[in-house]
């Protein structure tokens, strides 16, 4: 019916289907196959058999495991190194086999048939029951396998080897795409290329250089911005100190800024007598805060400030800083600090 199958697993000779709702025992159901997904799995699985067989024939690389991923698949090869030249030669060879339209056949043998011993296998499960399946790629490979496969290598369309990655225990992971996944990857790459062409205002061959220039420009702007923020921090502190009667509480919020900006202000003003509450970031969302001042006061107030701001922080030696999730509550923090100072100086 319309009940989705979440997972299928094997238990002895039975295929066990997991569904989200109970079905009546003994009820007949019509199974509807997701053919697009099934054919994708067939292409990737048969492609893996082909790649593994040819890799072993050409270079002696044995396959120890493989993973069928959602977007790309990986074959684990029992070798510490696969060169770019070997990857290129392997890709060329497997695609030649596809163009040769080599048949792929599936046959069943009794588990005790002597021929089973001549077929590649990683062994049968302990609870295996019934005959065993042998998947043959004519003249190339013969392998015990319970998976679904294409009937001819031409159904694979094309294989693209994306390269290698370092694997576990001195092994190498070979990344690959087969068939429709290659077409989807090309489409995605082409769409990305079109978008970059529009944004960068140049052709695909110039994208890399354009991005490098942008990165250099951004680094320079970030450096200049940081220097300006430092200068502003110093000026803010000097302006506060130049006033004839410095206040015991200094509060400042600036949307642009970082931890260094706040610490420069605290260093310039000095925290032996003044309590500072500094914040940077979006005024109504998240940001950073710094509470600085006399050690005892900061130790007492720091955790309460963090709690009011819906954030977390830590501190030592008269400074408590951290992240704030509720910057809109800065006014409540300021009221708390003013109340604290009033209690410290009741006659003021």
Angle in degrees, 0-180, between the axes of helices 180-200 and 35-59, rounded to the nearest 10: 100
The reported pLDDT for the residue numbered 218 is: 96
| Structure tokens given for 114 | 């002597």
What does each of the 348 residues of the chain score in pLDDT, given as a tens digit?
Answer: 688 999 999 888 888 999 998 888 988 888 889 999 999 999 999 999 999 999 999 999 999 999 999 999 999 999 999 999 999 999 999 999 999 999 999 999 988 888 888 888 777 777 787 889 999 999 999 999 989 999 999 999 999 999 999 999 999 999 999 999 999 999 999 999 999 999 999 999 999 999 999 999 999 999 998 899 889 989 998 898 888 876 789 999 999 888 999 999 999 888 788 899 999 998 888 999 999 999 999 999 999 999 999 999 998 889 999 999 999 999 999 999 999 988 877 654
Contact 47, 156 (CB under 8 A): yes
Contact 149, 39 (CB under 8 A): no
Distances from the Cα of 210 to the Cαs of 75, 202, 205, 270, in angstroms?
35, 8, 10, 46
The reported pLDDT for the residue numbered 347 is: 52
Dist CA 275 CA 291 (whole Å): 7
* Residue with tokens 């990683």, as numbered in its chain: 122
The reported pLDDT for the residue numbered 246 is: 65
Distances from the Cα of 14 to the Cαs of 6, 17, 31, 128, 129, in angstroms?
17, 10, 16, 10, 9
Beta bridge partners of 63: 77
The reported pLDDT for the residue numbered 271 is: 75
The reported pLDDT for the residue numbered 51 is: 98
Distances from the Cα of 182 to the Cαs of 155, 163, 176, 199, in angstroms?
13, 14, 9, 26
User: What domains are defined for the chain?
Assistant: 35-122+131-178 (3.30.980.10), 241-344 (3.10.310.40)
């Amino acid at each position: 019916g319309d009940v989705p199958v979440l997972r299928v697993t094997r238990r002895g000779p039975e295929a066990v289907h997991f569904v989200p709702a109970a079905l009546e025992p003994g009820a007949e159901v019509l199974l509807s196959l997701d053919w697009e997904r099934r054919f994708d799995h067939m292409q990737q699985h048969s492609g893996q058999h082909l790649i593994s067989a040819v890799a072993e024939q050409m270079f002696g690389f044995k396959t120890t495991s493989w993973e069928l991923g959602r977007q790309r698949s990986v074959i684990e090869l029992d070798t510490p190194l696969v060169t770019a030249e070997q990857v290129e030669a392997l890709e060329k060879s497997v695609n030649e086999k596809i163009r040769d339209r080599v048949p792929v056949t599936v046959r069943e043998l009794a588990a005790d048939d002597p021929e089973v011993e001549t077929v590649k296998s990683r062994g049968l499960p302990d609870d295996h029951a019934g005959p065993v399946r042998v998947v043959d790629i004519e003249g190339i490979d013969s392998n015990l396998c319970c998976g679904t496969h294409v009937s001819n290598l031409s159904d694979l369309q094309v294989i693209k080897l994306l390269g290698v990655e370092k694997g576990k225990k001195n092994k190498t992971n070979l990344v690959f795409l087969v068939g429709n996944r290659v077409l989807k990857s090309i489409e995605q790459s082409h769409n990305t290329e079109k978008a970059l062409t529009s944004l960068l205002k140049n052709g695909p061959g110039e994208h890399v250089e354009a991005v490098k220039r942008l990165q250099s420009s951004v680094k320079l702007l970030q450096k200049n911005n940081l220097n300006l923020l430092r200068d502003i921090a110093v000026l803010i502190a000097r302006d506060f100190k130049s006033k004839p009667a410095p206040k015991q509480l200094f509060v400042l919020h600036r949307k642009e800024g970082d931890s260094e900006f706040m610490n420069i202000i605290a260093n310039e003003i000095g925290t032996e007598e003044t309590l500072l509450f500094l914040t940077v970031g979006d005024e109504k969302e998240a940001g950073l805060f710094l509470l600085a001042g006399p050690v005892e006061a900061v130790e007492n107030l720091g955790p309460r400030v963090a709690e009011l701001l819906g954030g977390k922080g830590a501190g030592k030696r008269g400074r408590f800083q951290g992240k704030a999730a509720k910057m809109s509550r800065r006014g409540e923090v300021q009221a708390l600090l003013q109340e604290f100072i009033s209690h410290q100086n009741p006659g003021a």
